[in-house]
Structure 1
Amino acid sequence: MSIHETAVVDPTAELDSSVIVGPYAVIGADVKIGAGTRIEPHAVVSGPSTIGERNMIGSFATVGGAPQDMSYRGEPTELIVGNDNQIREYASIHRGTPGGRGKTEIGNNCLLMAYIHIAHDCRIGDNVIMANVATLAGHVQVGERASIGGLVAVHQFCRIGAYSYIGGVSGLSLDVPPYVIVAGIRDRTRVSGINKVGLRRNGFSRETIGNLEAVFRIIYRSPNLLLKDALELARKDFPTCPEVARMVEFFETSKRGVVRRTEED
């Protein structure tokens, strides 16, 4: 273990012997940090928090802080961070709330760039990218391998589907389906199509991408179909495609509503 002489580590914190803690970093009470994790200078990690293995927490990041919630009264909620994540400088990630899930969760191999904010009770999947100054309000869920552009703001309780791409400087108040590209602010938010480049990069077959494009046309380019009828048709036309089933289920389980406008609207 390498802890700089100017760092402050609470006696109750549990650090693996291979953890590196830089100058002036602060590790609070009830923090657990796994093997190979590096805490950069001036970073603050508060608890209760569990930080997995081989993570990097950048300078001046604030991880595991109390939730920004008016009803919070110091209850013992938590933050759970997986393995192999990069949490860059000035990022802020808060613990959960008793009225929410009681915990904020981040998966594995995420790149969380400078000044990002992840609020209380959020749930972030594996391999998620959040570019600089992207902000998630409370209770947001982000599916695996979603990419969120810089200066994006996401309303509380929204869901961001897996493998989706959110263009920079967007403001989202509705759910974003998996596998699509979205950009814009509130009533100007538009879905431009399937995230073909991202899907190809992640090994999806040409057939699967073609199926998703066909379903996109059914859902978004069939003005004479009600949404429920479009979803039924999509399921009927592609009964054996798990990606299509996932997209249809996403629409069916949305509580906030899903972004429906396209660039042609």
Structure 2
Amino acid sequence: MLTTKHINEIIFNGIATTTVLRRLRFLVGENYLKRLTGLESQDVLWTITDKATLLGEGEQFKRYWNKNLLEHDFKLLNLRLTLERQGIAKSWIPEHEIRFLVFKKYGIKAAQRMLVPDGLMITEVQSKKVSVAIELELSLKNKDRLRNIFFRYLEKNDLSYIWYICQGPMIANSVLKTWERVKGAKSPIKLRCSLLDEVMQNPKATWTDGAHSPAQRVSTPKEGNPITPSKLTIENRRPYPVSNAPPNPPVSPDHPHITS
């Protein structure tokens, strides 16, 4: 799923927008693309169809887009592209891809019971690859639900960070306070909590300096190496491994899998 602007920047290298739109409308007419509307910004989104998938070696991980979640998906897309462009995200696996592959391998019950973040990002800290669960929060969650999510995350052995990126300070405050109540004294997982606007405006500083909600600083990891910007790409991710083992492997940079 990409906007017209994204497609122009990534695929067509900045040609005239009218030319891009003419080509996209042709692909819609030939049933290779679908057009999605309903964003607050009035941007148009384009997504591939099953027919388009048959032309390549990839798979269609998500066929239906819930209009009630479209704003969340759009902001998550912009977040991903920003982190990739700045060289922070070395790879990224979205939630719907993880669920699709688990469903395909193990069935719908396994996919439904999994704890899956909005995105699983691999980045580098001190030249070491680490797994980061990305959670984009646009509204205030019930505290019991949030507490249950944290307890499940704390069961993971190889997850290095949970990065909550929040729409506003009130949401961030709730995340931080709940985490303080449930985390263990020697928890191997670190929580990062940032405001969405700050991440989008200055992602490098937000990640390397540990920028958080004004209410509290949970962690201040400054251990990262200098980050080199990378070329913008729509497929900057590593393949998702699905084995014959039961769906409960650990999270790690080489096997990025979040389970129940």
Structure 1 length-normalised TM: 0.29
Bigger proportion of residues as strand? 1
Q: Which protein has the larger Cα radius of gyration, Structure 1 or Structure 2?
A: 1
